[in-house]
Chains A and B, each alone.
Chain A
Amino acid sequence: MKELDPLLHSQLRLGIISLLISVKEAEFTHLKGETNATAGNLSIQLQKLKEAGYIEIEKTFKDNYPQTTCKITKVGIKAFENYVKDLQQYIKPKK
């Protein structure tokens, strides 16, 4: 059986990618609220996803507040699709 993408096979990173795949873009604060993660931890995991090219992170200022917007990339979508495909093998093993 294929091994699951270790980058996605983590509770928080999988949560982030699943959220980003369903929306166009989301702010850091939104991701934080939806995943119930701490800001520090979320930053680390986002950075890892960014380094792998799965997501894009854009830092801007909005009314003097720093704003971090995250968006899934094509690479990220592909990785997510593969992950789900691989996952199916584990759930319904082929005979």
Chain B
Amino acid sequence: MEEQNINPEQSMQIIQSMINRAQSNVSDNGFYFIFWGWLVFLCSVIFYITLKMEMQYGWLVWSLMPLGGIFTGIYSYYEHRKYNPDAQKKVKTYAEVYLGYLWIAFGISLCTILFMMGKLGESTYPLVINLYAIGTFVSGGILRFKPLIIGGAFSFAIAIVSFFTPFENQVLLVALSLLVSYIIPGHLLRNKFKNQ
């Protein structure tokens, strides 16, 4: 471009419009929220039923978790690898960086809690719910998406209630937490993404 003469007002406009463009690029298709939301929701409900029916091997349903992990790992690999000249995946926003750190921290904490289940006893599920709340609450803040923040706030409350709930019914509260802070906001996020 020839050295165009621009005046200070034009400079301001350029800065503003570019920063706005970069910010509107912050988007998420909600896949992970929906996938994990439904998977863990269904496992919790199934586990609850097996507990009520006093079936012995109900806990086996949780073996679906590592499978889910493998599936999302493969999904994210292809999502990043996919070369599509029209896709807007040509920019890495700070939001993505922060979300990455958040979910790594989430994963580590979840592993610690589940590993320490023996020591934590009946506090295990309430702590897991509390962790779910952190995940969506902070994600909502980063993505500036209210339903996730509200969903997270509900889960914080559910976590407190679950501390006072008998173990068997805690599983149902886990399911409720996933419904309000992952499944519903996840689908809303997906709708927003599609309409963009």
B-contacting residues of A (Cβ < 8 Å)?
4, 9-12, 14-15, 18-19, 21-27, 29-30, 33-34, 37, 41, 45, 62-63, 65, 83-84, 87, 90-91
1/0 per position for B1-42, CB-CB distance to A under 8 A? Answer: 101101011111011001101110100000000000000000
A30 to chain B, nearest CB (A): 4
B90 located at the interface, meaning its Cβ lies under 8 Å from any Cβ of chain A in the complex: yes
* Any A CB within 8 A of the CB of B122: no
**Beta-carbon contact of A27 and B91 below 8 Å:** yes
Measured between beta carbons, the chain A residues less than 8 angstroms from B14 are 11, 14-15, 18
- Stretch of B92-100, B150-158, B178-186 with 4 or more beta carbons under 8 angstroms from chain A: B92-100
The reply to whether A24 and B90 form a contact with Cβ atoms under 8 Å apart is no
| Nearest neighbor of B19 in chain A, beta-carbon distance | A22
For the A-B complex with A14-B6, A34-B21 known, give 6 more contacts whose Cβ atoms are closer than 8 Å: A22-B93, A23-B22, A23-B93, A30-B88, A33-B90, A83-B11
Q: Is the beta-carbon distance between B15 and A14 smaller than 8 angstroms?
A: yes
The 6 closest A-B pairs by CB, nearest first: A22-B22, A18-B18, A30-B90, A90-B8, A27-B90, A26-B91
The answer, yes or no, to whether B121 is at the interface (CB within 8 Å) is no
Whether, in the assembled complex, B77 has its beta carbon less than 8 Å from a beta carbon of chain A, the answer is no
Residue from the list B6, B21, B83, B85 in contact with A9, Cβ < 8 A: B6
Q: Count the A-B residue pairs with Cβ separation under 8 angstroms: how many?
A: 77
Residue B52 interfacial (CB < 8 Å): no
Residues of chain B lying within 8 A (CB to CB) of residue A12: 1
Q: Are A30 and B11 in contact (CB under 8 A)?
A: no
State how many residues of chain B have any CB contact under 8 Å with chain A: 28
Chain A residues with Cβ below 8 Å from B194 are none
Smallest Cβ distance from B135 to chain A, in angstroms? 21
Q: Of residues 41 to 83 in B, which have CB atoms within 8 Å of A's CB atoms? A: 81, 83
Whether A29 and B93, one on each chain, are in contact in the complex, defined by CB atoms closer than 8 angstroms, is no
Closest CB in chain A relative to B15 CB, distance in Å:
5
Q: Closest Cβ of chain A: how far from B142's Cβ, in Å?
A: 13
Of chain B, the residue at the smallest CB distance from A83 is B11
Measured between beta carbons, the chain B residues less than 8 angstroms from A34 are 18, 21
Known A14-B14, A87-B11; judge A22-B23 contact (CB<8 A): yes
Find chain B residues with CB under 8 A from A19 CB: 18-19, 21-22
Q: How far is the CB of A76 from chain B (nearest CB, A)?
A: 14
- The residues of A that contact B90 with a CB separation of less than 8 Å are 26-27, 29-30, 33
Q: B92–A25 contact, CB under 8 A? A: yes
The winner among B8, B18, B88, B93 for most chain A CB atoms within 10 A is B18
Bound Cα distance A11, B9 (Å): 12
